[in-house]
Amino acid sequence: MPSVLPAILCASVMNAPANEKIQVPTLNNELINSKLMDVAKAVTLQFRSENLKPDEIGISVYVPSLNLGGSYRGDVAMYPASVVKLFYIAYGAHLLDAKQLTMTPELERGFKDMIVESSNDATALVLDAVTATTGGPELSEGELKAWMEKRRSVNRWLEGFGFKGINANQKTWNEGPYGRERQGYGPNFEFRNSLTPDSCVQLLSLISEGKLVSKDRTDWILGYMKREIVADSKNADSQSKGFTGSILPSGYKLWSKAGWTSTVYHDLALVQTQDGRKAIIAVFCKGHASNETIVPFMAKETLKAIGIIR
């Protein structure tokens, strides 16, 4: 598949002035959209024996140096699994910058394990801390309403920047919610976490370009997201080996947050080439979580389409 941006991808990354209002990147470039449509066709063809359907995947891309992006079903929300954890650390970084949250060694351990190890137990601590809530027995209707308003803190913060189609207010689970946590999902689980590929790429773009939080907190987040890639290290972790890190050439750099359950398999990644070019991608797949080759193939075809890999 020919590259969309063979020459201008070499342009240098330009950050907006610190006092410029935060603008969420738009992901609607027609040429990139068209190429991602081709990627989607290639993916469904490759996995036709799996009966992979076009509406079971979503792809979003952003090239920071060009301020250009596009998507295939990027505005369609899916259950995000552990990808949502990036939203929680981003909000935590905002609160720390604003002196509205106090870091402790235990909370630092929670943030680290939430991103590095994708620990659900650590995520429970973090979400309680950043929203000033706790789990526990069921609540009365009025108490639950007040509790849920606090839990919506991450959503309100991001909606203020123009994020759409997201719900990031639930813990991630090994077994499932009980008590007030179960109440908070709604009777039919209508309030479970929900993110679009676009929203994930947009958030990571703002983080990686230093537009969302301070430089120290930007470095803090990206430090936890840094992954070894399979081509260069035997120490590549599961969030690299089973995802974008498995298809990157030697010398590339990767920052990522993967998410998977028995029903979904997703990756959100910032990729940097040997010569410094960057791209942010989100590749989502639902209904085929048992096949760990679909998302790496999606990532490879996506990065090929925009000239990041050959």
Q: Quick one: pLDDT band at residue 22, thresholds 50, 70, 90? A: confident
CB 73 within 8 A of CB 57: yes
Extended beta strands in the chain, E state:
57-63, 68-72, 226-227, 253-260, 264-272, 278-286
Is residue 41 domain-resident? yes
Angle at 124 between CA 122 and CA 126, to 5 degrees: 70
pTM: 0.93
CATH of the domain at 234: 3.40.710.10
Mean pLDDT of the chain: 93
- How many angstroms separate the CA atoms of 42 and 211, rounded? 35
Reported as a single tens digit per residue, the pLDDT across 85-128 is 999 999 999 999 999 999 999 999 999 999 999 999 999 999 99
Number of domains in the chain: 1
Is residue 1 domain-resident? no
Nearest to 206 by CA among 24, 16, 18: 24
Q: Quick one: pLDDT band at residue 2, thresholds 50, 70, 90? A: very low
Is residue 225 domain-resident? yes
Reported as a single tens digit per residue, the pLDDT across 44-83 is 999 999 999 999 999 999 999 999 999 999 999 999 999 9
Burial class (CB in 10 A: 0-12, 13-18, 19+), 76: middle
Is residue 48 domain-resident? yes
Nearest to 135 by CA among 230, 114, 144: 144
Is residue 57 domain-resident? yes
Is residue 266 domain-resident? yes
Range of the domain at 245: 8-170+181-305
Is residue 95 domain-resident? yes
Is residue 3 domain-resident? no
